[in-house]
Amino acid sequence: MKAAVLGSPIEHSRSPILHNAGYRELGMDGWEYTRIRCTAEDLPGIVGGAEESFVGFSVTMPSKFAALEFADDVTERAQQIGSANTLVRTGDGWRADNTDCDGVTGALGELMGDTPIRRALVVGGGGTARPALWALAQAGVEEVTVINRSDRSAELAPLLEPSGVQVRFLGFDADLSTASIEADVVVSTVPSAALDGHESALAHAPVLDVIYDPWPTRLTTAAAANGYLTVGGHVMLAHQAFGQFEQFTGRPAPRDAMRQALEDSLR
């Protein structure tokens, strides 16, 4: 049986390390997880033409919106988030799901422990911000501030409104230091280069930075220097992969073995 991660570029993806480690740990010798270069335009042909041995696909940018559109069935959370990072073959075609929100939830759990999150600051308004906002709403966050270079309020506000979360949208020209100080946690969903010159202003709370290569990022280094805990994208990557593994294989993910393989690859 086979599974693969789809994206462009794709050479950097560490998803094969996680999934193949899980197969080894469970003695699933006939299973293989690979990388396939895939743009949004390529996805229907690649997934639709996949041989029967392919049971599922992990989907990265730029194909997460295309995955949602392609699927024959869509989970409720993927529909609400508006994108999919998981495609699973079923008897009726392909089911789309979004486990990125599990990644955010798991990473925040490791970062914050039992400390409640009332106010969150999310940097970015793209494909990774959407599951982050959804996960924060599900966690009971009361207020969210979104910082983005362009106004994405019309697209992102509906993710939070059903949960009654208060949301405000700011540009990078706002008082970022005050916004960070007022937050219980900062979640950055953008490439490190997008924060150039703003890292110190945003580093006044615990930080989840979705970047894991290179690591640590300038944002997490600044936050750590201020005495705050940080977690990186590798933690989010691991937690989102566990659910994918279980949907692809029908077996509980060997989380410790998968996480250890990922950690070893980053050393």
User: How far does CA 254 lie from the centroid of its chain?
Assistant: 20
Q: Is 64 a catalytic residue?
A: yes
Q: Which of 19, 64, 130, 239 is catalytic?
A: 64
CA distances from 46 to 30, 74, 115, 119, 127 (A): 22, 19, 43, 41, 21
Tell me how crowded residue 254 is: count the other CB atoms within 10 A of its CB: 18
Question: Torsion-angle region of residue 241: left (phi > 0), alpha (psi -120 to 50) or beta?
Answer: alpha
Which residues are CB-neighbours of 50 under 8 A, at least 6 positions away?
57
| Cα gap 10→7, rounded to integer Å | 5
**71 residue type, one letter:** A
CA distances from 141 to 133, 138, 236, 250 (A): 10, 8, 19, 32
Element (H, E) at 6: strand 2-7
Which residues does the annotation mark as catalytic? 64
